[in-house]
Amino acid sequence: ADNPLWLSEGLAMFFESPDVSNSQGWGTIGKVNVHNLKLFSQYLRNRPADSLTTLITDDSRFRDATTAPQAYPESWALTYFLMKTKKRNYAAYIKELAEQPPFGEVSSRDRIEMFKKHFGSDLEKLDHDFINYIRRLFR
């Protein structure tokens, strides 16, 4: 299915929390990914107001060498935020994505509408809550 890259990559990074104190190099699933948190905090200084929307609506930021270094940590941060604060909504969103027909394509408009269906229509408020939540992790 045409799963958004922010979801696929964010979920993958949610499972890869490096832990240098662990002899195997991996920590607990869902632990704060310190590397991505640091990268996202650097991006926040110049993060455009439409960053959340562009992340959700299409995959172009992941395919552009100039924007991919910010898209990946933002997708981790968004995934972390949603998994920790809106777990049921996140599960329902993934379930609906899984029900999409194979090899189908989802338009940018449909992507944003599906996202709003599960996480609320006020993306500005969600973005504000998202950034505030992630900023608390810096402390």
In the predicted structure, residue 17 carries a pLDDT above the cut 80: no
Provide the mean pLDDT of the chain.
91
Share of residues in the chain with pLDDT > 90 (%): 75
> Residue 24: its pLDDT value, please?
60
Residue-wise pLDDT tens digits, 93-117: 999 999 988 888 889 999 999 999 9
Which has more pLDDT, 93 or 32?
Answer: 93
Task: Give the residue-averaged pLDDT of 65-70.
Answer: 96
Query: Which amino acid is residue 98, in one-letter code?
Result: A
Query: What CA–CA distance (Å, rounded) separates 23 from 4?
Result: 34
SS3 25: coil
> Residue 92: its pLDDT value, please?
98
Share of residues in the chain with pLDDT > 70 (%): 91
Beta-ladder partners of 18: 26
pTM of the predicted model as reported, rounded to 2 decimal places: 0.90
Task: Give the residue-averaged pLDDT of 88-95.
Answer: 97
Query: Which amino acid is residue 114, in one-letter code?
Result: M
Query: What CA–CA distance (Å, rounded) separates 68 from 43?
Result: 11
Our CA dihedral for 94, 127, 67, 15, rounded to 10 degrees, sits at -40
Residue-wise pLDDT tens digits, 49-63: 999 999 999 999 999
In the predicted structure, residue 41 carries a pLDDT above the cut 90: yes
